[in-house]
Amino acid sequence: MPPPTSDATALDSLPSNLRVHVIGAGPVGLLLTALLQSVEGLSVCLYEKRREYTRTRMVQLAPYLVADSVESYRADAIDGDSVEAIFDSSELEQGLAFRQSIPPDLSALLRSWALGFCPLNSIERSISDLIDARGLNGVERTSAVVTAEEGMAMLKPGDVLIDATGSGSLLRDHLAPGSGEVADGANTLNVRLEYALVITFLYGQKYDCNEFCKYAKNRENPHYKFIPMVHRTHYDGSVSHVTGIVNISAREYEAMPSRFDGQWLRSNFPGVAQSMDRFIDKIKEETHGEILGDLEIVRIPLDLYRARSATSRQWLTAGPRDHPFASSPVFLAGDSAIGSPYFQSISLGFECAMFLAGLIAQRDLPLTEMLDRYELYIYKQWLRVYMRSKMIKHNKDLFESIDDPHALIDKLHIY
Ligand SMILES: Cc1cc2nc3c(=O)[nH]c(=O)nc-3n(C[C@H](O)[C@H](O)[C@H](O)COP(=O)(O)OP(=O)(O)OC[C@H]3O[C@@H](n4cnc5c(N)ncnc54)[C@H](O)[C@@H]3O)c2cc1C
């Protein structure tokens, strides 16, 4: 069921001289700011707590983000089917039309990031530099940690507040109306898919992985199969960057520190280490290279989540009138709204930013309609992410039992 629609709010539409506060200048907050920067009659206040962009992990944007036709938008066999089932053609056409209207300086960057891997901080720096190079036209940047109370206090009636603070969202749970203490998870639907070790290493030869390689190199690993992430091996001309995950139990997760290296793994969880060694030995047999340095390991719960409300719609329609959210629309964008460990989250966050910037630019749009449309859009994106993530998780579970027909059949639901 799509979320219900709203009926009446304290505000009818956004003021003509609009002030937008964007909290969080990660990739999504930056893209939103760059998109809003070219909208007439609007100023943006962008807040960021980090002084420098230091996240060097290699990421890639999904090709659908820069698609120029509905066919190319649906090119991914699995995601394309979900998209076709969830979105109307007119919605897809509108999304593509918005992409065509993105200023050339920004769209050139987006296209270049969809071609191959690049460090996350180079995406952040490029958009940040672009905003500055445009002469800060209408954008005021503040370096500060913003608290939820400060976020609320900065709002004048009619201001828009966008929370782009990532998965640990500053305001997500504050969007559930209520009085008193805000309960953790009050507005968050969380599906814990599994516990995993994310293992990264550098390898001194070209190494590319596909589904057959995952199978062949794990054949002697009945447990703790190492699964390089799809399209997450990256060769920079001399070194391959390999990232993958190993499924672990909740008890094992509890017994591990949050970060460690291969040596610690060998001493404390020899079963996992042997499985990794077997996988890596097979890479070496094939490509005659060596691991450079040690394994870098992080233990994480893999959570699929969404904000049940991605806007302050409930505050505006039914909350106490004296609360700041009752007179200022709030939107969640990027990881603060939806996240999945198996989905291209930056691309998803960028799409949400485009949709939201397109809504805010339509100054004559009634506020209720703006909120309803954003909620529905996020809900549809959630369905898309949920379907794909659950399918990947199911496939992973089957893969774990691939050499044990009884265990495999036990996990199948065929008809
Ligand atoms: C190991 C790993 C690999 C990944 N690989 C990929 C990939 O290949 N492709 C992909 O699409 N995605 C990938 N992701 C996910 C991707 O990094 C995130 O989806 C993306 O960074 C989300 O962007 P965001 O702007 O919504 O949030 P974030 O990147 O989390 O940015 C939030 C920003 O808000 C700031 N902030 C937070 N709180 C406050 C506050 N109170 N006051 C002021 N500022 C605040 C933070 O400092 C930060 O700059 C990966 C993630 C991980 C962990």
**Which residue has a Cα nearest atom 6 of ligand 1?**
59
Residue with tokens 């990232």: 243
Residue 152 confidence (pLDDT): 94
The model's pLDDT over 290-303, given as tens digits with 9 standing for 90+, comes to 999 999 999 999 99
Checking if the pLDDT of 160 tops 90, the result is yes
Burial 148-183 (b: 16+ CB within 10 A, else e): eeebbebbeebbbbbbbbbeebbbbbbbbbeeeeee
pLDDT above 70: percentage of residues in the chain: 95
Q: How far apart are the C-alpha atoms of 296 and 394, rounded to whole Å?
A: 27
Comparing C-alpha atoms, which of 194, 253, 201 is closest to residue 228? 201
Q: How far apart are the C-alpha atoms of 348 and 354, rounded to whole Å?
A: 10
Q: How far apart are the C-alpha atoms of 176 and 49, rounded to whole Å?
A: 25
Distance 217 CA to ligand 1 centre (A): 32
**Which residue has a Cα nearest atom 27 of ligand 1?**
166
Assigned token pair, 99? 């992409």
Distance 215 CA to ligand 1 centre (A): 31
Is any atom of ligand 1 closer than 6 Å to the C-beta of 231? no
Helices (H), 193-327: 211-217, 250-254, 262-268, 270-287, 313-318
**Three-state helix/strand/coil letters over 38-55:** CCCCEEEEEEECCCCCCC
Comparing C-alpha atoms, which of 68, 26, 76 is closest to residue 47? 26
Phi, psi of 47, deg, nearest 5: -115, 135
Distance 168 CA to ligand 1 centre (A): 9
Distance 28 CA to ligand 1 centre (A): 8
Q: How far apart are the C-alpha atoms of 203 and 192, rounded to whole Å?
A: 31
Pocket test for ligand 1, best of 28, 258, 342 (most atoms within 8 A of CB): 28
Is any atom of ligand 1 closer than 6 Å to the C-beta of 28? yes
Q: How far apart are the C-alpha atoms of 170 and 357, rounded to whole Å?
A: 20
**Which residue has a Cα nearest atom 38 of ligand 1?**
165
Is any atom of ligand 1 closer than 6 Å to the C-beta of 347? yes
Is any atom of ligand 1 closer than 6 Å to the C-beta of 341? no
Checking if the pLDDT of 8 tops 50, the result is no
Residue with tokens 């190199």: 217
Distance 27 CA to ligand 1 centre (A): 7
The model's pLDDT over 355-381, given as tens digits with 9 standing for 90+, comes to 999 999 998 899 999 999 999 999 999
Is any atom of ligand 1 closer than 6 Å to the C-beta of 335? yes
Burial 364-391 (b: 16+ CB within 10 A, else e): ebebbebbbbbbebbbbbbbbbbbbbee
**What is this structure's pTM?**
0.91
Residue 11 confidence (pLDDT): 66
Distance 55 CA to ligand 1 centre (A): 9
pLDDT higher at 340 or 238:
340
